Chains A and B, each alone.
Chain A
Amino acid sequence: MRSVIFIVLGACALLALPHGLSFSQQEILVFLTINILLVSSYRLLTLTGEWSLAHVVIMGVGAYASALYSKELGVWVPVSILLGGATAALMAVLLSFPLFRMKGFYFLIGSFAAGEIIRLLWKRFRDPFGGPKGIKGIEPMPDFSIGIYDFDFFEPVSYYYLSGVVVAVCLWLLWRIERSPVGLTFHAVHWQDKLAEASGVNLRAYRTLAFAIASGFAGIGGGLMAHYVGTINPNSFDVDLMVYVLTWAIVGGTGTFYGPILGCVVLTVLNEIVLRELGFEQMRPLIYGLIMILSILFLPKGLESIVQHLATRRSEKGVKDRRAAE
């Protein structure tokens, strides 16, 4: 009962949130929503112990695919976004054949190389990828009305609501997967792959599965982004953004489901809102880097460790109160 109230209150807060913000902050909010999906899907991959540097490029695969499907084939935009996700997942399955011959650090480097190859292919082939200039004039999301609210997708608030719903559904799916026996098997593959294999787990299949699911959701995020911004090019998906994803995941902590989301939200708010408001325009990257170093030094387990600490303190207090009452 209490959790239902929490969810309703949280949803209301999220609905009201954009109305207190300036236009540019509303735009940041849209990107933040998409980035939450990006970093959460990345966490699913890290469950199996593999860290990829191709995740953002895979998101780009979804963006390019969705843009091309709607532009060249005239696919309805919502469907093309989903197809973009499916394409990204398929690409991950193809990449898994060379990449999962490697593990750990070698996989990291191999995935980076694979991502760069994909980016070079986009640059090289003007048809259909548009070369270095990328794709312009991507179909926007078609406007529609649900009676009480008219969705006008040139407005960031409308797009925020749409992407918020899509991301919420994706997060729910990711949560279900992680909490299922499949998620348990991902953990098993991570901690002791040999013992998992001796219990009959097909390691290759499970690593590929995690990679494909993570990539599929990243691809949906890419599709959402492409149809919002209206233009994509190979540099929209370069290693800079990948470094951001890594920082969000590391600063937030990957031990829990909410860790990377926390990292993404806190760092984005710090970077885009607080530092901007304080007038550190030129110094922002410097301060951002400083925050990162400090958080790794003093919070090696990520922001999630603070939450866990508070939660256990509260529950311990609860136990004490109950004991006192008895």
Chain B
Amino acid sequence: MTHFLDVDALTMRFGGLTAVDGLSLKVRHGEIHGLIGPNGAGKTTTFNMISGFYKPTSGEVRLRGEVISGLRMHEVARRGVVRTFQHSTLFAEMTVLENALVGTHMAFRPNIFAAIAGWDREDRRGAEARAREALEFFGLDHLKGELAGDLSHGHQRALGLAVAYASHPDVMLLDEPFTGMNPEETRGMMDLMRKLREDGITILIVEHDMQAIMGLCDTITCMSFGKFLAEGGPADIRNHPAVIEAYLGGARHVA
């Protein structure tokens, strides 16, 4: 049976260091899948391999049965896997609406000749409508004229999601979306992610905030020192002896 997103024996070596070692995981369509583990477990490296930022040393990532590992990032994105970044990676010098417009790049591919001749009015209108829709979805439409760099931290994180959402993704890879958020912002963000799931978007999420992860995810994969450790629902993971040992036994790894 082919899975929606299938990570198969993925390995990444940086020189002598094996950051990710034969990791396999399967993401079902329409679920929120969490990837957790102590610091340095290789979560972000895994993300970078799935999104095409790194080329894995060995192993494969398959989307609907098609191998996408080793493709470049924009090629992975065009197949429907769109990522966000740690911290607030945005076009800080551009307005909020322009940020979202860049997100619509794939759906409304700009064409330079049409742009000069003015034949792309339909596309421009469509792109703007989609960008506004994405901003409304994340409650940012009232800020669309502001510079992205001037937004508050929570709004910047939401805008990062809006940029990704504007491109009609099938899978969203969220890299630590709750970092630096207060509990209220975290709750708002969790609601947004549930809304995304209702929209039919599959979410793979890397996060340290256990409360958010446990409250949000359908399935959780835990890794430690680059290796697969355990997988299951929130309740299984919470009580899994290997997970408890990884976090509590190696207490100094915990942030």
Which positions in A face B, CB cutoff 8 Å? 173, 176-177, 180-182, 184-185, 187-188, 191-192, 194-203, 209, 213
B110 touches A200 (CB 8 A): no
Q: How far is the CA of A187 from the CA of B93 in the complex (A)?
A: 9
Q: For the complex, is B178 an interface residue (Cβ under 8 Å from A)?
A: no
A191 touches B73 (CB 8 A): no
A-chain residues with CB within 8 Å of residue B53 when the two chains form the complex? 194
Q: For the complex, is B116 an interface residue (Cβ under 8 Å from A)?
A: yes
Q: Can you report 18 A-B residue pairs in the complex whose CB atoms are below 8 A from each other? A: A173-B116, A176-B118, A177-B116, A180-B115, A181-B108, A181-B115, A184-B94, A184-B101, A185-B110, A187-B93, A188-B91, A188-B105, A192-B89, A194-B73, A195-B91, A198-B84, A199-B102, A199-B167
B77 touches A199 (CB 8 A): yes
Q: For the complex, is B60 an interface residue (Cβ under 8 Å from A)?
A: no
B92 touches A191 (CB 8 A): yes
Q: For the complex, is B226 an interface residue (Cβ under 8 Å from A)?
A: no
The distance from the CB of B170 to the nearest CB of chain A, in whole angstroms, is 13
A-chain residues with CB within 8 Å of residue B120 when the two chains form the complex? 180-181
B-chain residues with CB within 8 Å of residue A203 when the two chains form the complex? 74
The distance from the CB of A45 to the nearest CB of chain B, in whole angstroms, is 15
- Beyond contacts A176-B118, A198-B77: 8 other A-B pairs, Cβ-Cβ < 8 A, are A181-B105, A187-B94, A192-B91, A195-B85, A195-B89, A195-B102, A197-B73, A198-B51
Partner of A199, one of B98, B115, B124, B163: B163
The distance from the CB of A185 to the nearest CB of chain B, in whole angstroms, is 6
Q: For the complex, is B42 an interface residue (Cβ under 8 Å from A)?
A: no
A-chain residues with CB within 8 Å of residue B116 when the two chains form the complex? 173, 176-177, 180
B-chain residues with CB within 8 Å of residue A209 when the two chains form the complex? 112
A191 touches B82 (CB 8 A): no
A180 touches B167 (CB 8 A): no
Q: How far is the CA of A195 from the CA of B167 in the complex (A)?
A: 12
A-chain residues with CB within 8 Å of residue B110 when the two chains form the complex? 180-182, 184-185
Q: How far is the CA of A38 from the CA of B200 in the complex (A)?
A: 50
A177 touches B112 (CB 8 A): yes
A-chain residues with CB within 8 Å of residue B118 when the two chains form the complex? 176
Partner of B89, one of A181, A184, A194: A194
Q: How far is the CA of A202 from the CA of B118 in the complex (A)?
A: 23
A195 touches B163 (CB 8 A): yes
Q: For the complex, is B90 an interface residue (Cβ under 8 Å from A)?
A: yes
B-chain residues with CB within 8 Å of residue A198 when the two chains form the complex? 51, 73-74, 77, 82-85, 164
B167 touches A182 (CB 8 A): no
A-chain residues with CB within 8 Å of residue B77 when the two chains form the complex? 197-200
Q: For the complex, is B38 an interface residue (Cβ under 8 Å from A)?
A: no
Annotate B86-112 by CB proximity to A: 1 below 8 A, 0 otherwise. 000111111000100111011010111
Q: How far is the CA of A187 from the CA of B101 in the complex (A)?
A: 12
B163 touches A200 (CB 8 A): no
B102 touches A185 (CB 8 A): yes
B-chain residues with CB within 8 Å of residue A184 when the two chains form the complex? 94, 98, 101-102, 110
Q: How far is the CA of A191 from the CA of B94 in the complex (A)?
A: 9
B91 touches A200 (CB 8 A): no
